[in-house]
Structure 1
Amino acid sequence: MEKLSSGLSHLFMTVFLYCFSGFMVIPAITDVTMSAICPGKDECSLAIYLSGIQQAIVGLGSLLIMPLVGNLSDKYGRKVMLTVPMTLTIFPLAILAYSRRKEFFYAYYVLRTLISMVTEGSVQFLALAYVADNVAESGRVSVFGILSGIVSCAFVCGNLSTRFLSTSATFQVAAGGTVVSLLYMRMFLPESMMRNGSAISEATETDCLLEKAPKKTLQVFKTLPSLDDTISMLRTSKTFSQAAVISFFSTVAEVGASASLMYYLKAQFHFDKDQFADLMIINGIAGTVSQLILMPILAPAVGENKLLSVGLFFSCVNMLLYSIAWDSWVPYAASLTSVVAIFAMPCLRSIASKEIGPCEQGKAQGCLTGICSFANVVSPLAFSPLTALFLSESAPFRFPGFSILCAAFAGMIAFVQSIKIRTAKPITCCTDENSSTVEP
């Protein structure tokens, strides 16, 4: 128990340091992009399209790579696979830490696009798989919520630090912080998936899958997964496939809204780096309090199914308020709804993890992350042109937040699907020797 608790605490610190470094550049990157591409302007369609193209390319690559990363983490261990994205993240940050001139920005843009195919969301889903390795199902949703709360706390601290740093110092600190997170993880985080110095056997993994897979479509996972493997995972459980649908539409909505929001606020209310940081700090504080304090209390009492639906509903309300903002204070007020909206993803991940065997958590979380990555392909294709159109002078009618309103409709589809989701009896396919879980 003490060893596992220590491992989780080191995991939380690793995730905090990594996310802190990544989040602190978010408020600054919009200004850097606009300065490099359209200096002196508050509206730039090229910047919006470049961001959308980047998201689409990253999403397409991640769709193929994330299930692979999850599968390899089941075979070789979480710590080994965490090393890869945490190392790669350093390089694009180092470019902007050195210079933010136009040629350096494009070098950053290309390198980040390629690297993000491996790094985008991989640290978070590997951390979720690590938790699933070491926490019993009855307490998993609470620990997932705590992990999500750690991410929100890093979000607050990262954006707060940006508020008091220059743009150049922001990227320098972010690059240094990523190096520190990598070193900390390699030095202190114990491996969770290795058993007596070797990975879990393929036979055990196969047994776990076969117990849930439809009898007429039995399929053994190969060492390297393919699209057929992902489809097989989706067919193992109706609940898991419902979770995948919810993941897709909620991510389409979230990515569409977040990609549009900064350009919308800059064009509509002339927000800059500091105001973006203030807005994100409010979101982060609300999410941190919610997940570290409220969610561990509400999840056992209300149930993760209901909490999922409540979170998705308020996520739609959040987007709706942003889209119709009539004054500069409205986005700040709308961000308070994240106190409840933030419940959705930890509950969804917990529901999905209980549908899959304990020796397939990497595959399951990687599968969901891959589906979210596919949503990252679809969302920019739909919302980038809408954002550019309705922020331009050639908009068919005056509604600058129209693309965010459309994102809210996509989120409503996820909400309706969440009402229908039903959890099945969790599987316990692996032997006690191979699944040493404990209560938190």
Structure 2
Amino acid sequence: MGNLIHINMSLFLSNFASMMVFPAMMDVTMAALCPGKDECALVIYLSGFQQSIIGLGMVMMMPLIGNLSDIYGRKQMLTFPMTLSIIPLVILACGRTKNFFYAYYVLKILTGMLTGGSLLCLAVAYVADITTEDKRAAALGMVMGFLCASSIGATLVARVLSSDTMFQVAPVISLMALVYMRVFLKESNISNHNEHLERPILTNSGLENCGLSDVESSRKARPSRKIPSIKDFILLVRRSRIFSLAVVITFFNSLAESALEGAAMYFFKARLHYNKDEFANIITILGIVGIVDQIILVPILIRFIGEYKLLSYSLISGFLSTLVYSVAWATWVPYVVATFSIFPIGVTCLTSIMSKQFGRDEQGMAQGCISAISSFASIISPMIFSTLTDLFLSDKAPFDYPGFSILCVGITMLIALIPSLLIEFDASGSSDNVVISNDDCIEP
């Protein structure tokens, strides 16, 4: 429990620093690039380009970072993203004029390509190392709850502090997160665990048909000791029906999530004239609801209806939320929708489901590959939704529906709902979940 608290506090402080400046970034960007305007195509496309390039870097880096954490430890690899995340915040602390903004923009892309998403990826792997399967969903819910709490605290502080003070405090808190993690967090010692998943995908289950001894098959069946390849990933998908369905859900869920943030913010800015304070209010509400959902509702609902049904219900909730967002006619509508949304619960359920398909010393590579899938979705997302958002907020829209891009986000969630309904938990541990043939043997 102590290590769980320390990883949560490390995430809390790091996310607190980044979320403190998040509500103001829309105003800072608009002021630097399009002063005096509420609509700006340049801002939309620059944001989409940034998201795509960062996603491209994450596709390549996440499996590698996760793989290295299996070898050298989660704590050692956590130092890398937490250190680099300080640099862009320092730029904003120095200034927010046009030149400073472009310097921040370039550094944010570079650091995001190297470390974007790795903090949560490594934290999930760490939690999977130190928890048993029956408590993993609750533990991951606590992680998400701490992230929501950090968002609330950061936005409340941002409301109190002036812009200059806020951008100066953020890098200090980010540095505190790094120091806290290095001092208090203990390594998970994944190589010393005696407990192992009964049917991990990557270990020697089923490889006896390859004619290898236990030692040889264990050595050859652990791609976590080399850089993961496309062949390794295809092998994972082939061996587990649950994992293959979860991959599809992850892709469309990430496609929707990455699109919703940008599409909703630009829509609210252009049509409802939201500013820093309104964005901070929405984030605060989402944070409070997230804490209740993740820490209180997740363990209760999973006990009664299971992770798989809860995943489907969360996607339905996400679709309904985006449907209302897309026709928001007053400033209070997004507040009401944010209050009743349980969409973020689905991420916790999906992460828990996928983590249970791997052994403890495989979590880094597995979570890295999963993050790469999400990153690939984030590359495609702006290509589609940035164009739609700009088109339907402009005078050239083919029909009068400014929130059409948000509706398309909801349709993407409905697509993710289909494979979520197909997932069935195989409690008996039958061979239907893991299908291995001689073709699966990896050549030396």
Please tell me the residue identity of whatever aligns with 2:333.
V
Q: How does 1:97-246 map to 2 (within 5 A)?
A: 97-193=93-189, 195=191, 208-211=202-205, 221=223, 222-246=225-249
Q: Which residue of 2 aligns with 1:433?
A: none
TM-superposition CA deviations, 1:116-142 (whole Å, max 9, x none): 123221111111111110111011111
**Aligned partner (choices 52, 75, 81) of residue 56 of structure 1:** 52
Where does the alignment leave 5 or more consecutive residues of structure 1 unmatched?
201-205, 428-440
Task: Provide the rounded CA distance (Å) in 2 between the counterparts of 1:128 and 1:401.
Answer: 34
Q: Which residue of 2 aligns with 1:327?
A: 330
Query: What TM-score do the two structures reach when normalised by structure 1?
Result: 0.90
Greater mean deviation of Cα atoms: 164-173 or 284-293: 164-173
Cα distance change on mapping 1:275 and 1:426 into 2, 3 Å:
farther
**Aligned partner (choices 317, 328, 333) of residue 314 of structure 1:** 317
TM-superposition CA deviations, 1:283-341 (whole Å, max 9, x none): 11111111111112221222111111111110111111111111111111111132x22
Please tell me the residue identity of whatever aligns with 1:77.
G
Q: Which residue of 1 aligns with 2:287?
A: 284
Q: Which residue of 2 aligns with 1:438?
A: none
Greater mean deviation of Cα atoms: 6-15 or 81-90: 6-15
Q: Which residue of 2 aligns with 1:401?
A: 403
Please tell me the residue identity of whatever aligns with 2:20.
M
Task: Provide the rounded CA distance (Å) in 1 between the counterparts of 2:24 and 2:82.
Answer: 21
Greater mean deviation of Cα atoms: 375-384 or 285-294: 285-294
Task: Provide the rounded CA distance (Å) in 1 between the counterparts of 2:305 and 2:344.
Answer: 16
Please tell me the residue identity of whatever aligns with 2:271.
Q
Task: Provide the rounded CA distance (Å) in 2 between the counterparts of 1:213 and 1:234.
Answer: 16
Please tell me the residue identity of whatever aligns with 1:353.
S
SS in 2 for 1:359: helix
Correspondence 1:96 to 2:99: no
Per-residue deviation, 1:343 = 1.2
Correspondence 1:374 to 2:370: no
Kept in 1, the 8 Å contact 2:13–2:177? The answer is: yes
Task: Provide the rounded CA distance (Å) in 1 between the counterparts of 2:296 and 2:302.
Answer: 11
Q: Which residue of 1 aligns with 2:263?
A: 260
Correspondence 1:72 to 2:40: no
Please tell me the residue identity of whatever aligns with 1:274.
D
Task: Provide the rounded CA distance (Å) in 2 between the counterparts of 1:268 and 1:213.
Answer: 59
Q: How many residues align?
A: 415
TM-superposition CA deviations, 1:140-175 (whole Å, max 9, x none): 111111111111111111111111222222222211
Q: Which residue of 2 aligns with 1:392?
A: 394
Cα distance change on mapping 1:36 and 1:212 into 2, 3 Å:
farther
Per-residue deviation, 1:352 = 0.4
Kept in 2, the 8 Å contact 1:219–1:232? The answer is: no
Per-residue deviation, 1:363 = 1.3
Per-residue deviation, 1:91 = 0.3
Runs of 4+ deviating beyond 4 Å: 212-216
State, as a whole percentage, how many aligned pairs show the same letter: 47
Task: Provide the rounded CA distance (Å) in 2 between the counterparts of 1:341 and 1:9.
Answer: 25
Please tell me the residue identity of whatever aligns with 1:17.
L
Q: How does 1:17-28 map to 2 (within 5 A)?
A: 17-28=13-24
SS in 2 for 1:360: helix
Where does the alignment leave 5 or more consecutive residues of structure 2 unmatched?
195-199, 211-219, 430-444
SS in 1 for 2:187: coil
Per-residue deviation, 1:99 = 0.3
Kept in 2, the 8 Å contact 1:214–1:235? The answer is: no
Q: Which residue of 2 aligns with 1:86?
A: 82
Task: Provide the rounded CA distance (Å) in 1 between the counterparts of 2:339 and 2:126.
Answer: 30
TM-superposition CA deviations, 1:367-410 (whole Å, max 9, x none): 11110000100100000011111111111111111100001000
Please tell me the residue identity of whatever aligns with 2:424.
R
Per-residue deviation, 1:213 = 7.5
Greater mean deviation of Cα atoms: 82-91 or 287-296: 287-296
SS in 2 for 1:25: helix
Task: Provide the rounded CA distance (Å) in 1 between the counterparts of 2:91 and 2:315.
Answer: 37
Per-residue deviation, 1:195 = 4.4
Please tell me the residue identity of whatever aligns with 1:243.
A
Greater mean deviation of Cα atoms: 107-116 or 295-304: 295-304
Query: What TM-score do the two structures reach when normalised by structure 2?
Result: 0.89
Kept in 2, the 8 Å contact 1:76–1:194? The answer is: no
Cα distance change on mapping 1:230 and 1:208 into 2, 3 Å:
closer
Please tell me the residue identity of whatever aligns with 1:382.
I
Correspondence 1:305 to 2:308: yes
TM-superposition CA deviations, 1:333-373 (whole Å, max 9, x none): 111132x2221011101100111122211111111111000
Kept in 1, the 8 Å contact 2:8–2:143? The answer is: yes
TM-superposition CA deviations, 1:76-131 (whole Å, max 9, x none): 10000000000000001100111001011001101100111232211111111111
Please tell me the residue identity of whatever aligns with 1:269.
L
Task: Provide the rounded CA distance (Å) in 1 between the counterparts of 2:386 and 2:153.
Answer: 29
**Aligned partner (choices 345, 348, 365) of residue 346 of structure 1:** 348
Task: Provide the rounded CA distance (Å) in 1 between the counterparts of 2:231 and 2:356.
Answer: 22
Per-residue deviation, 1:194 = 5.1
Please tell me the residue identity of whatever aligns with 1:267.
A
Kept in 1, the 8 Å contact 2:191–2:361? The answer is: no
Kept in 1, the 8 Å contact 2:58–2:116? The answer is: yes
Q: Which residue of 1 aligns with 2:215?
A: none
Correspondence 1:358 to 2:352: no
Correspondence 1:296 to 2:299: yes
Task: Provide the rounded CA distance (Å) in 2 between the counterparts of 1:361 and 1:301.
Answer: 27
SS in 2 for 1:423: coil
Q: Which residue of 2 aligns with 1:435?
A: none
